[in-house]
Structure 1
Amino acid sequence: MCSLFSKDGNAQTTKLKASLFEGILVGGYTDGGAYINCTGPAVKYVVKKIPIMAGLLPSLKIKKDQAQDGATHNSIITPTLGFGLTACYKHLVVQLPAFYSAKTSTSDGLWKLGAGIGYKF
């Protein structure tokens, strides 16, 4: 177990800890489309009452497929799993996620960065 401790009077408070779910909902932009996600398992580090999390982001990507006419199209809404950083200040959430776009006949598989804003319940 890896933990950092800081002194606050006589009490010890953990600054680094694991988290399964935080009650955060985020919407944002990545790879020419939108996404909606919640935070999943993460490692949380608290700096001056502002938690910063690095972890997994179960998401729904919303993007229209740019396939040729007559070719098959993917669904507009696709479940995916990303990872990234999430920071909270009171109820405001800012997120920097990364999602993998699989290889297709017209493009290579690449990691795509995004940006989002959300709410902590």
Structure 2
Amino acid sequence: MVLISAADREMTDFEMKAIGDTVQGLPVFRDFDATTLPAIASDCVGMLQNEDGLDAVLDHLAADLPAKLRETAYALACEVAAANGSVSQEVMRLLEILRHHLNIDRLIAAAIERGVRARYAHL
């Protein structure tokens, strides 16, 4: 989630609220210590500032994330991307890279993206 938020080099209040709400509200984070979130976000941003930072973060994510949670991680990344009301080209490209890195099937990713789009639709 932090990776997507930092993709356009600006972590907005909407994105941070979406991340915080997600961590507090979803069962997958039941045993997660939410007080560590700022440090984790800072570490992620720090890693991204290195020359091969994106690859390092993606490799770390793919290595540490259980296969059964990869679709969940992709869905949460899409949620954060949608939090601002529009998704930039940079963020869309990063979602594509993330999808490939996590080996998310294209049709599954499309279904996830469509579900998020429906959740964030407004008049």
TM-score normalised to the size of structure 2?
A: 0.19
TM-score normalised to the size of structure 1?
A: 0.20
Whichever of the two has the greater Rg, that structure is 1
- Larger relative strand fraction: 1
